[in-house]
Amino acid sequence: MRIAQLAPLAESVPPKLYGGTERVIAWLVDELVELGHDVTLFASGDSRTKGKLHAVWPRALRLGRKGVDPNAACALLIEVIAERAREFDVIHSHVDWLPLPVLSRTGVPFLTTMHGRLDLPGLSNVIGAFPEAPFVSISDNQRRPLPEANWIATIAHGLPQELFRPSYEPGSYLAFLGRLTAEKGPEDAIRIARAVGMPLRIAAKIPRAEATYFKKRLEPEIDGENVMLVGEVDEVRKQPFLAGAAALLFPIDWPEPFGLVMIEAMACGTPVIAYRSGSVPEVVEDGVTGFIVDGEEQAIEAVKEAVRLERRTVRTRFEERFVASRMTREYESCYHELVARGRS
Q: How far apart are the first and last CA of the chain?
A: 17
123-148 average pLDDT score: 96
Residues 8-22: what's their mean pLDDT?
90
Q: What is the DSSP letter of 143?
A: G
Q: What is the pLDDT of residues 250-306, one digit of tens each?
A: 999 999 999 999 999 999 999 999 999 999 999 999 999 999 999 999 999 999 999
Which residues, in sequence order, are bridge partners of residue 272? 248, 290
Q: With cut-offs at 50, 70 and 90, classify the pLDDT of residue 193.
A: very high
CATH number of 2-160+323-343: 3.40.50.2000
Q: What is d(CA 150, CA 251) in angstroms, rounded to the nearest whole number?
A: 31
Cα separation, 257 vs 139, whole angstroms:
6
Residues in contact with 116: Cβ distance below 8 Å, sequence separation at least 6, in sequence order: 96, 257
What integer is the mean pLDDT of 200-226?
91
In this prediction, residue 16 has a pLDDT band, given cuts at 50, 70 and 90, of: confident
- Measured distance CA(265)–CA(114) in Å, rounded: 23
Where do you find CATH 3.40.50.2000 in the chain? 2-160+323-343, 173-321
Q: Are the beta carbons of 51 and 1 closer than 8 angstroms?
A: no
Residues facing 134 on adjacent strands: 150
Report pLDDT for 232: 85
Task: Tell me the fold of 173-321.
Answer: Rossmann fold (3.40.50)
Please report the pLDDT score of residue 332 as a whole number: 98
Buried b (16+ CB within 10 A) or exposed e, 5-43: bbbbbbbbbbbebbbbbbbbbbbbbbbbbeeebebbbbb
Residue 146's pLDDT is 97
User: pLDDT tens, 156-177?
Assistant: 999 999 999 999 999 999 999 9
The length of the chain is 344
CB atoms within 10 A of CB 128: 11
Angle at 214 between CA 208 and CA 218, to 5 degrees: 160
pLDDT higher than 80, residue 343: no
Confidence of residue 104 (pLDDT cuts 50, 70, 90): very high
Amino acid identity of residue 107, one-letter, is G
Parallel, antiparallel or unpaired: strands 173-179 and 245-250: parallel
What does the DSSP 8-state code read for residue 157?
A: -
Tell me what pLDDT residue 234 has.
82
Average pLDDT over the chain, rounded to an integer: 95
DSSP string, 110-140: EEEE--S----TTHHHHHHT-TT-EEEESST
Q: Taking 70 as the threshold, does the pLDDT of residue 344 lie above it?
A: no
pTM of the model: 0.95
Number of other CB atoms surrounding residue 105 within 10 Å: 10
Count of other CB atoms within 10 angstroms of residue 50? 14
Tell me how far apart the alpha carbons of residues 312 and 267 are, in angstroms, rounded to a whole number: 10
CA dihedral 283, 270, 299, 306 (to 10 degrees): 110
Give the 3-state secondary structure of residue 69: coil
